[in-house]
A and B are shown apart, each in its own frame.
Chain A
Amino acid sequence: MIGFLLLALSVAPLAAIMVCLLVRRPRICEACNLIASAIAFAAALPLPFLVDGRAMLFWGDYVIIDRVSAWVILCTSIVYVLASIYAIGYMRLLKQDDRLFRFYALFAGFGLTTLVGPLMNSVGIYWIAIELTTLVSTFLVAFERAAESMEAAWKYIMIVSAGISLALLGTVLFYWDGSFVLGPSYQMTWAVLAEAAPKMNPALMILAFLLVLVGYGTKVGLAPMHSWLPDAHSESPAPVSAMLSGALLNTAMIGIVRFLGITRAADLGQLPQLVLVAFGALSLLIGALFIVRQQGIKRLMAYSSIEHMGVVALGFGFGGALGVAGALYHMLNHSLNKSLMFFGAGNMMRAYGSKEILRINGVGRYFPVQGALWLAGAIAITGAPPFGLFLSEFTIMRAGLKPSFSWAVYVMAILLIVIFIGFINHFRSMYYGSDSSAAAPAGKVSAWCAVPMWLALVPLLVLGLWWPADVWTYLTSIAPSLSPGVP
């Protein structure tokens, strides 16, 4: 049953790519991509219910499905289906029907690579999957072909490829370290590494882990390796921004989490966690500083992504059942919420014809329903109740309240307050700004662009009011499974 679902999950986007490249008719391509994403979502939804405590392997041990990968795939598929609905409305506005088949082929490819990435059981092949996500998404970032998009695409592929090559070096060093225990030739899977970890050389392992952390951290957008992220997120078409933020970052985060689990099995002390916590706190700081003085609406959302990845990194860094559960819950909430925010930003950007916050004025007056949705999303993303992010951030803070990490909790609390003020202030000026000279919006928002915002906000509200007990048990059971053998 699970094997069949995984097959559907990967074959549906693959089929969509084929059809897009063969048929090339824009309306058929968008329908195909939408159907593929719906199938992927339908296949990913039951996965967390079907997976029990043990990891399951498929297809000659190359595919692993355990609780953590099932959860991340669920997050990814949600963003993929929402962004696919949204893309239909948004991409029609660009009036580039003749190139649209390429967009949808690449978009389905992006969906495919982000969905299969967390499933890779071999450490090396996981690296390749992450590299493929970069290659596919570069062309999505560059799709609008303006000089800015080109610049963003160039910086994106350059910085991320350089960063990810560090992760490859780290992976090779992990393999080398393992070869002293397991012999010169072995299958490097997550479980094999974790099993051998207690006997591996700690100094080399720390070096390898730091390289991997910096490498995949570049892809996750942890500061100070975040510099590609605001450019790529702000210059790509809005559905792509949502995918980059809600799906891609999680897919790369899972690599860090699995490697962290391996180092915990090796008993290296607090250093790996401490470094991850430091990266997380720094990301929050960078996010806060740039959010307060931000002028571009999509860049604002991009820095908010850096902030939230920082929060997730803090959660995994704090560790323990609480920290991991909070971080994974935060992933889901962030995926929903950031899609909503990028959809709203894309709509407003098209309606007002500008990416600048100053040029957007009176959103609430011109778009009462849309505006209310977007504002609710803004309140949610700053971590205010009654939305899901409040619960997850609160859980992560509780996880950090132990002597070694309590400083990080205080830093996190202060920076979250700064971000709340800065972020909401931008929305105040867009909704209730006194500048009446700004142009009234010219565009309308189609239903394709409005519906996914509802679909994102409603679950977000539900998740904030009610954290189901089953989900709680599910998430708290993940922490021990990441580093087997540790009490």
Chain B
Amino acid sequence: MLIQHLNPLASSLFSLLAIASLLMSFVMLGSRWLKNYLYAFAAESWTIAALSAAVGYYGNYPELYLIAILTLLFRGLLLPYLIWRIIRRMDVDREIHVILQPSSGLVIGALFVMFALSVSFRIAAGFHLELTVAVLALTVMLSMKLIGFLMLAVRYEAISQILGLLVLENGIFLGSQILVPGMPLLIEMVILFDLLIVVACFGVLVGYLQTHVGTTSTLELKRLVG
């Protein structure tokens, strides 16, 4: 197992990258401009790509270089480009209805991280891994999940919801690079492609929403109740 005997340099490099990407999700949480979300998401994906490459280097998993390149291409360039095109097509550039101020959002996000930390610590203690980078990886994985759900819950623009969903998956990607670097390559590659399809679908749907419902704010989606 990689994480059990990792040299200190690698361990701190992994930690640095994991924390950097967690920070990016806080940037997303603390802003209300769609463009900022997008840049933060792209930066987060690049960090994850760097992490894949680092894990590949230190853990001797050459196939992770491939994953790193694909992550960079798909999640770092292609997905942000597709979403950027959707944003440009719409005339909305920020959240209009704010129900949770960005500052309160940051505080709630911090609470989520603390919760995730305590859960991860217990899980890792079960394997006697509480002094390794596993705790951090698991914390970042779970807290990005929670932050993604928070973004889904308090943001109403269609684009922010798509990005929230992508943050959910980024968390899993990040955690799995450190915790289970040996997970079959095929699955990771297909999940990358899968994500591309998801975003393509969302692009089509956003277009539909605008032409047939007349808005991209999901706050207006309230015909179907009961």
Using a CB–CB cutoff of 8 Å, the interface residues on chain A facing chain B are 122, 124-125, 128, 131-132, 135, 138-139, 142, 145-148, 150-155, 157-158, 161-162, 165-166, 168-169, 172, 175-176, 179-180, 183-188, 201, 203-204, 207, 230-231, 234-235, 290, 293-296, 299
Contact = CB atoms under 8 A, between A and B. Distances in A.
A316 B161 CA distance: 34
Interface string B112-127: 0000000100110011
B182 interface: yes
A343 B108 CA distance: 47
A161 B165 contact: yes
Nearest to B124: A204
B168 A162 contact: yes
Interface string B205-226: 1001100111000100101101
B198 interface: yes
B2 A184 contact: yes
A135 B198 contact: yes
Contacts of B209: 150, 154
Contact of A122 (B187, B191, B194): B187
Given A162-B165, A172-B175, A296-B226, 17 more contacts: A122-B184, A124-B183, A124-B191, A147-B223, A150-B205, A150-B208, A151-B224, A155-B224, A165-B165, A165-B169, A165-B172, A168-B169, A172-B176, A179-B1, A180-B1, A184-B181, A230-B224
Given A128-B194, A151-B221, A157 B202 contact: yes
Contact of A147 (B127, B172, B197, B212): B212
Q: Can you list the 10 inter-chain pairs with the closest CB atoms, starting with the nearest?
A: A185-B182, A124-B187, A184-B182, A151-B221, A231-B224, A165-B168, A147-B213, A172-B176, A176-B179, A150-B212
B201 interface: yes
15 contacts: A132-B194, A138-B201, A150-B212, A153-B208, A154-B158, A158-B161, A161-B165, A162-B148, A183-B182, A184-B2, A184-B181, A188-B183, A234-B224, A293-B226, A295-B226
Nearest to A187: B184
A173 to B, nearest CB: 8
A172 B176 CA distance: 7
Contacts of B152: 158, 162
Nearest to B187: A124
Interface string B154-178: 0000100100010011011001100
Given A203-B122, A203-B123, A294 B175 contact: no
B9 interface: no
Nearest to A168: B172
Contacts of B184: 122, 124, 185, 187-188
A150 B152 CA distance: 18
B2 A155 contact: no
Interface in B137-157: 141, 145, 148-149, 152
Given A124-B184, A125-B187, A154 B218 contact: yes
A172 B180 contact: yes
B195 to A, nearest CB: 10
B198 A161 contact: yes
Nearest to A208: B123
B165 A172 contact: no
A138 B184 CA distance: 29
Interface string B19-34: 0000000000000000
B159 to A, nearest CB: 12
A152 B165 CA distance: 18
A147 to B, nearest CB: 5
A151 B191 CA distance: 26
A167 to B, nearest CB: 10
A290 B205 CA distance: 29
Contacts of B202: 157
Nearest to A290: B226
B126 A204 contact: yes
B108 to A, nearest CB: 18
Interface centre among A154, A230, A294 (most CB of B within 10 A): A154
B88 to A, nearest CB: 21
B183 A172 contact: yes
A151 B197 contact: no
Contact of B205 (A157, A165, A186, A299): A157
Contacts of B145: 165-166, 169
Contact of B201 (A122, A135, A186, A201): A135
Contacts of B224: 148, 151-152, 155, 230-231, 234-235
A151 B149 contact: no
Interface centre among A135, A158, A188, A207 (most CB of B within 10 A): A158
B215 to A, nearest CB: 10
B127 A180 contact: yes
Contacts of A296: 226
A208 B204 CA distance: 33
Nearest to B218: A154
B175 A204 contact: no
A289 B141 CA distance: 37
Contact of A172 (B126, B127, B179, B212): B179
A268 to B, nearest CB: 14
A158 B1 contact: no
Interface string B89-113: 0000000000000000000000000
Nearest to A180: B127
Given A135-B197, A165-B169, A201-B126, A294 B226 contact: yes
B66 to A, nearest CB: 15
Nearest to B209: A150
Contact of A153 (B127, B172, B186, B205): B205
Contacts of B181: 184
